[in-house]
Amino acid sequence: MPFTRRAFCTGLAALPLSRPAWAQETPLLTARPATVQLAPEGYPATEVWGYDGLLPGPQIRVPQGSRLSRRLVNGLQVPTSVHWHDIRIDNAMDGVAGLTQDPVPPGGRFDYAFELPDAGTYWYHAHTNSMEQVARGLSGALIVEESTPPDIDRDEVLMLNDWLLEPETGRFAGDFGNPMMRSHAGRLGNLLGINGRYDFSLEARQNERLRLRLINAANARIFMLRLEGMVGWTVALDGMPLAQPEPVSTEIIVAPAQRVDLIVDVTAEAGTPAALLSYADDDSWQALAEVTVTGPKSSAPRAVPAPLPPNPRMDVPGVAEAELREMRMEGGAMRGMASGRFEGQDMDFQKLVQRGQFWALSGQVGRGEAPFARYAQGETARIRWVNDTVFPHAMHLHGMHFRTVAADGSQGPMRDTLLIKPQESAEVAFVADNPGKWLLHCHMLGHAASGMTTWIEVA
Ligand SMILES: [Cu+2]
């Protein structure tokens, strides 16, 4: 019988669908030092820590509902671990050293493998001494694709970051434990960029429709952005689709760890300015991403984009009956606090400062022995964050997504990280349906490392 294509295909189909477990090779993700040109040409290169030696780390793209596996190889001189922010993940895979796993020692390995129930824009980053390890470059994008993608011309992932560099040496500046930064707004960089480049740019054609997946990978910077030469709609926040696309009519705020998915149409004509502008420290608007507009893609603007398909389990029922727990955010420069409980002892503020601790959540400084709250699996949880400090904080819950709840009980978008301004409060609710020990902390990583970290337990 001739060796036809048909016979060949039939032969393949007769093979087992998957190889036995021992024969499957887990792709590696190696955390290691590397040299990257972060600063403009003419300045020295920077020694970074990157996944596979890249900054940002390799972009991981997987279909919704699939399983992701990576073997972390620690090529650093210090312990590390990977957090898959904020996949609704098995607790053992959440990557929080000291809570969900032991840190992986230098030369060690750890196998991560988990399902991806939700489509959307996510990211992964170090979660052992994250204040330093994320600042040195250990983060990358994790994109979970919808089975029915939106009608767009191009999909671009933009990892927003800032780096605090010494211009003379190219090195990361200062001491990552710097008490001045930890007690104030956190480690803010002196060089802003996207995907590891201070001069990131895109080419586009007039009337081209782009999906821009914004990920704030910075330690502490809140990006405030505007579109120039483009019109846009927000279609998802923190990976979770909005019920309806919302036109971008004001500044786009992206706090640390937050993601914003935009669908934008390039309206600028060829040769005229288009950009993603960022509010700069000197009160001006600077191009964070220049968009070079070439020829027209089409002559006519397009209709408003359709919403993204919803993810499963986006409803939060039973909020009115749920017990409300208040979490007071206290401390920091210019305000401080009378005392807090740290490592099992009550201490006054001065003693806490001597231990490098500046913040508390309802009197608890850092992750204590007991969780902030325990929830029965499936229970609706309700938390009110009260920001009693003079700084904004980006509160992040692991393992589950919450919805904001307004004073009238109406629910806002589903998110995993919420920015709470000084002297304001915000209420959120979520279904505590994912069993395990879940970290709840400020994603200004210097704040998290100096008191603003607690945890909840779902059992
Ligand atoms: Cu904070």
Cβ–Cβ < 8 Å for 109, 74? yes
8 A C-beta contact, residue 224 and residue 252? yes
Token pair belonging to 414 = 């589903």
CB 386 within 8 Å of CB 327: yes
Find out whether 196 and 36 touch, Cβ atoms under 8 Å: yes
**Mind listing the pLDDT tens digit of every residue in the chain (459 residues)?**
333 333 333 334 444 445 555 556 899 999 999 999 999 999 999 999 999 999 999 999 999 999 999 999 999 999 999 999 989 999 999 999 999 999 999 999 999 999 999 999 999 999 999 999 999 999 999 999 999 999 999 999 999 999 999 999 999 998 888 888 999 999 999 999 999 999 999 999 999 999 999 999 999 999 999 999 999 999 999 999 999 999 999 999 999 999 999 999 999 999 999 999 999 878 899 999 999 999 887 777 789 999 999 999 999 999 999 999 999 999 999 888 889 999 999 999 999 999 999 999 999 999 999 999 999 999 999 999 999 999 999 999 999 999 999 999 999 999 999 999 999 999 999 999 999 999 999 999 999 999 999 999 999
- Give the strands of the sheet with 339-342, arranged side by side: 345-348, 339-342, 364-365, 359-361, 324-331, 379-387, 425-432, 402-405, 411-415
pLDDT of residue 18: 53
**In the numeric block, which tokens belong to residue 82?**
């990977």
CA of 208 to the centre of ligand 1 (A): 38
Written as six digits, the tokens of 262 are 């935009």
Q: Are 366 and 425 in contact (CB under 8 A)?
A: no
**Model pLDDT, residue 11:** 37
- Centre of ligand 1 to C-alpha 384, Å, is 16
Residue 445 Cα, ligand 1 centroid: separation in angstroms? 7
Q: Report the separation in Å between the CA atom of 398 and the middle of ligand 1, taken as the mean of its atom positions.
A: 16
The Cα 310–Cα 169 span in angstroms is 48
* pLDDT value for 13: 40
pLDDT tens digit sequence for 202-232: 999 999 999 999 999 999 999 999 999 999 9
Amino acid at the residue 371: P
Q: Which tens digit of pLDDT belongs to each residue from 330-348?
A: 999 988 888 999 999 999 9
Q: Quick one: pLDDT at residue 302?
A: 86
The CA 260 to ligand 1 mean position distance, Å, reads 20
Distance 449 CA to ligand 1 centre (A): 10
Cα(101) to ligand 1 centroid in Å equals 24
Question: Ligand 1 centre and the CA of 448: distance in Å?
Answer: 7
* pLDDT at residue number 29: 98
Give the whole-angstrom CA distance, residue 285 versus residue 227.
11
pLDDT at 432: 98
Distance between CA atoms of residues 44 and 169, nearest Å: 6
Cα of 382 vs centre of ligand 1, distance in Å, is 20
Tell which residue, 446, 437, 435, has the closest CA to residue 370.
Answer: 437
Dihedral (CA of 292, 296, 302, 308) sign: negative
